[in-house]
């Protein structure tokens, strides 16, 4: 039994390039031509490896969300408290506000805003990603409440959405 032709591209690098393209241009404005150029793959390779544009977006958004959640979880684990984590995150965000990356915003929030209430898989995935990030911050706020840094009368969900 043969194993087929080896991949001539690196799927992780191609996915990262697609993610960057969707992040810069948005789902609707990222053309197949833009994606192919960024990913440095042929149309057939894209379809074979990732499916269509929608499936590629879903994979890129999932990749972005998982990276962000892992990064945030690592930073929380290193912080002396949940409140210290939030405080440092806010300081870092303010410090980095003028960076090229900050100008892009967040792929999850950008996608949720762009796709709004469309009844499509990309819109549903953007909303699910938004809920995952909000869920993470809700847990952080609950931890801060448990540590005594957030008063009991404050809603962790409201604080997380903020």
Q: Within a domain: residue 144?
A: yes
Assess whether pLDDT exceeds 50 at residue 3. no
> What pLDDT does 103 receive?
85
In angstroms, the CA 81 to CA 38 distance is 40
Closest among 25, 49, 4 to 104, alpha carbons compared: 25
In angstroms, the CA 117 to CA 43 distance is 30
pLDDT tens-place string over residues 90-139: 999 999 988 877 888 999 999 999 999 899 999 999 999 999 999 999 99
Q: Within a domain: residue 6?
A: no
CB 34, CB 21: distance < 8 Å = yes
Q: Within a domain: residue 71?
A: yes
Q: Within a domain: residue 145?
A: yes
CB 161, CB 100: distance < 8 Å = no
Number of domains, the chain: 1
Q: Within a domain: residue 90?
A: yes
pLDDT band at 5 (very low <50, low <70, confident <90, very high): very low
Q: Within a domain: residue 127?
A: yes
> What pLDDT does 102 receive?
82
| Domain span holding position 128 | 11-161
Q: What is the mean pLDDT of residues 12-32?
A: 96
Closest among 137, 136, 132, 140 to 160, alpha carbons compared: 137
Q: Within a domain: residue 1?
A: no
Percentage of residues in the chain having pLDDT higher than 90: 85
pTM, entire model: 0.87
Q: Within a domain: residue 122?
A: yes
Residue 36 maps to which CATH number? Answer: 1.10.357.10
């Amino acid at each position: 039994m043969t194993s087929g032709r080896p991949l001539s591209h690196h799927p992780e690098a191609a996915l990262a390039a697609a993610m960057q393209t969707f992040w810069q241009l948005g789902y609707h404005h990222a053309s197949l031509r833009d994606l192919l150029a960024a990913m440095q793959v042929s149309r057939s390779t894209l379809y074979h490896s990732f499916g269509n544009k929608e499936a590629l977006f879903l994979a890129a958004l999932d990749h972005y969300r998982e990276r962000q959640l892992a990064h945030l979880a690592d930073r929380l684990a290193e912080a002396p408290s949940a409140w210290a984590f939030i405080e440092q995150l806010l300081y870092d965000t303010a410090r980095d506000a003028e960076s090229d990356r900050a100008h892009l915003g967040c792929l999850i929030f950008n996608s949720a805003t762009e796709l709004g209430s469309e009844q499509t898989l990309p819109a549903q995935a953007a909303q699910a990603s938004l809920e995952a990030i909000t869920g993470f911050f809700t847990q952080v706020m609950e931890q801060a409440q448990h540590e005594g840094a957030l008063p009991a009368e404050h809603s962790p969900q409201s604080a997380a959405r903020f």
